[in-house]
Amino acid sequence: MSQGNSPGFSGLRSYFWPVHMHELTKIIPMIIMLSFIALDSTILRNLKDSLVVTARGSGAEIIPFIKVWGVMPSAIIFMLIFSKISNWLNREALFYVTILPFILFFGLFAAYFYPHRLAVQPDAFCDMLRSSLPQGLSGFVECIRNWTIATFYILAELWGSVVLSLLFWGFANDTTRVSEAKRFYALFGLGANVALLASGPAIIYFSNIRSLLPPEVDAWQITLNYLMGMVCLAGLCVIAVYWWINRYILTDPKFFDATEIKARRAKPKMSIKDSLLYLAQSKYILCIATLVIAYGISINLVEVTWKSQLKLQYPNPNDYNTFMGYFSTITGAVTIFMMLFVGGNAMRKSWGFAAILTPIVLLVTGTAFFAFVIFRDSLSVFIAALGTSPLMLAVLFGAAQNIMSKSSKYSLFDPTKETAYIPLDSEAKVKGKAAIDVVGARLGKSGGSFIQQILLLACGTISAITPYIAVILFGIIAVWILAVRSLSKQFTQLTLAKSEV
């Protein structure tokens, strides 16, 4: 009887877990490493929004200004420095030198910078600016006033691009073959989303801790201390797992061919100027950059509109962060479902099919969200029958849209994007990823923010610019789909050429 069931069980196992037993030694540490990175990404993403959106005198309108005037310049500076020191340090040393400053800052922020933020705010200068500048620039003024929180936001944004996209996926691409990536990369995301499931309840618990504290105690400061402690501990665990993989996995010829890394180290290094010129001349790299930039613009255009509604519903930072904890938990569960039943199987069907699903999901969910926000006044009778408010429904519609877009990113967008790097040579992988994942990703989000700034100057408020944002979103997604189709053809040709060598 067991023999009769064996083929069926084997097929079911390969459907959900297409990994051979001897490969577990390699894949499990990578999943653990990604889980800790994703845990930090989730906590930082929720905290940066809670801190900025609920700061004194601030709101969601501050986000486009931070991304354009803070995140984007910081990303460019980082890319230039990273490209330079990548010529001096080996891969392992580069990893440590890059991640440690993040961990140090996040620890210092909770212990020192946040408790003393009011003492260092230039309130008089900002009040003068706010009285003399147009209403559409109020977000820029609040960036200056809340500069300590803005700095946290910048580094929290860069964590995802630098540590997740550049360091982890760069490491994975260096040590994974294309045939392995089709089976492994969707599974890596499972670890990331188990971390989402774990981080959500932790965020909820520590955000609700005020009920256990005396009234005179700053509950938000206590919440921040606990969550930043988790971030720093998880960051140190990332370093420990990375060190262990390099010492005990990559030294085993069953899992990694040492001659490949020696060949890569022997390649001549290019200057920053030459690297950028080299990347600009590559249609393949430009197509990957288009995907990353289009995703960044699309998600940013929707998120700011949603977070403006969320701030109105939850003005208290603890309440705001509690909602984001539930949001993270649901996102993790939906993404795990997407990875098990959609992501890996779409990847095995074809790269192009998997890659085009993300823009389609954003198109469908974005249409539903903006349609409700724009026309909700016409639905007042229906909303009243549901026993809720238009504001709460807007928050829930936005949350549903963000959950689907993020689950598509983790289960489809990231695996397809990272797989596209694998057939490239070492120079394009290292410096191409630095330019695309750090600067390209920031350019995408900053591009969306720049669009919103122009519209805010013209219209004044986020609610007034919503219809225009919806139209621009659909145009960006159309360009994204065209780039996917072009890259799919190039990826197939390059993979075939590599396999024939």
| Single-letter amino acid, residue 249 | I
* Of residues 329 and 182, more confidently modeled: 329
Q: Which domains does the chain have, with CATH numbers?
A: 23-252+270-496 (1.20.1250.20)
CA 126 – CA 138 distance, rounded (Å): 9
Tell me if 458 sits within 8 A of 136, measured CB to CB. Answer: yes
How far, in whole angstroms, is CA 286 from its chain's centroid? Answer: 20
pLDDT 10s digits, 16-35: 455 556 666 777 888 889 88
- 271: alpha, beta or left? (left if phi > 0; alpha if psi -120 to 50): beta
How sure is the predictor about 499, in pLDDT bands with cuts at 50, 70 and 90? low
Q: What is the pLDDT of residue 426?
A: 73
Distance CA 231, CA 199 (A): 10
Return the number of other C-beta atoms located less than 10 Å from residue 61's C-beta: 25
Q: How far apart are CA 332 and CA 347, in angstroms?
A: 20
Rounded Cα gap, residues 240 and 236, in angstroms: 6
Buried b (16+ CB within 10 A) or exposed e, 285-324: bbbbbbbbbbbbbbbbbbbbbbbbbbbeebeebbbbbbbb
* Residue 366 token pair: 């974005």
Q: Please report the pLDDT score of residue 225 as a whole number.
A: 92
Is residue 383 pLDDT above 90, yes or no?
A: no
Cβ atoms within 10 Å of 433's Cβ, excluding its own: 24
Task: Name the band, by pLDDT with cuts 50, 70 and 90, for residue 1.
Answer: very low
CB 100 within 8 A of CB 243: no
Question: Which two tokens mark 382?
Answer: 């229906």
DSSP 282: -
Q: What is the pLDDT of residue 204?
A: 85
pLDDT level of residue 94 (50, 70, 90 thresholds)? very high
Q: By C-alpha distance, which of 170, 166, 147 is closest to 158? A: 166
pLDDT, greater one: 475 or 373 = 475
